Amino acid sequence: MDYFVLNVSCPNVSSHAKLNDKEYLEELIGVVQQANKTFDKQKPILLKIAPDLNQHQLDEIVALIQDTGLDGVIASNTSTSRSNLKTSASRLKEIGNGGLSGKPLKNKSTEVIRYLSKKSKQSFPIIGVGGIHTAADAIEKLDAGAMLVQIYTGFIYSGPQLIKEINKKLLSK
């Protein structure tokens, strides 16, 4: 499936904070939707969000998608949070800033998906991503309300075999 993604959640971008601003986002979405109309065939436009948004911000995302008619949400990008990690604070300081992906992100992104799905009454598709390392993790995302899933870090650790495992598990459900 081809689609455009408005990635408003990259933790390495200095204007990250601005991308959580509703008015700015509305303007940005409008410009991208206009540009999309200039093509012979329009592609769906999805908003990719951070896992670190609070409930108020997630409510705003739901309203934003519904008001602008965007085609869906990708939840989520990497996290700026370092909570609940086994790594020591001093080591984390050495490593520095950046987005956290993989297993420590799993529950956080699943809860964002669950909240968005419930709040929106499933009125738009959600692509679930964050910490999928097993077939059970993928099913957890789908059960939380994701329509599709994506795998990044899990793919590095497990390779294409993971896709086969997920598909087999889904077929046996």
Ligand X SMILES: Cc1cc2nc3c(=O)[nH]c(=O)nc-3n(C[C@H](O)[C@H](O)[C@H](O)COP(=O)(O)O)c2cc1C
Nearer to ligand X, 161 or 172 (CB): 161
Least separation in angstroms between residue 82's CB and ligand X is 15
Q: In terms of C-beta distances under 8 Å and separation of at least 24 residues, what long-range contacts does 118-124 make, across chains too? A: 118/145, 119/58, 119/59, 119/62, 120/62, 120/65, 120/66, 123/65, 123/66, 124/65, 124/66, 124/70, 124/71, 124/72, 124/73
Instruction: Find the part of the chain contacting ligand X (CB under 6 A) among 37-45, 63-71, 110-118, 125-133.
Output: 125-133
Among residues 47, 73, 77, 120, the one that binds ligand X under rule CB under 6 A: 77
Nearer to ligand X by Cβ, of 120 and 137: the residue is 137
Q: Is 102 in the site for ligand X (CB under 6 A)?
A: yes
Amino acid making up residue 157: Y
By CB under 6 A, the residues from 149 to 168 that bind ligand X are 151-154
**Using CB under 6 A, which residues numbered 6 to 35 contact ligand X?**
7, 10
Q: Are strands 126-129 and 72-75 parallel, antiparallel or unpaired?
A: parallel
Comparing CB distances to ligand X, the nearer of 45 and 90 is: 45
The answer to whether the beta carbons of residues 153 and 129 sit under 8 Å apart is: no
Tokens of 47: 């908003």
Closest to ligand X by CB, 77 or 120 = 77
Residues in the site for ligand X, rule: CB under 6 A?
7, 10, 48, 77-78, 101-102, 105, 129-132, 151-154
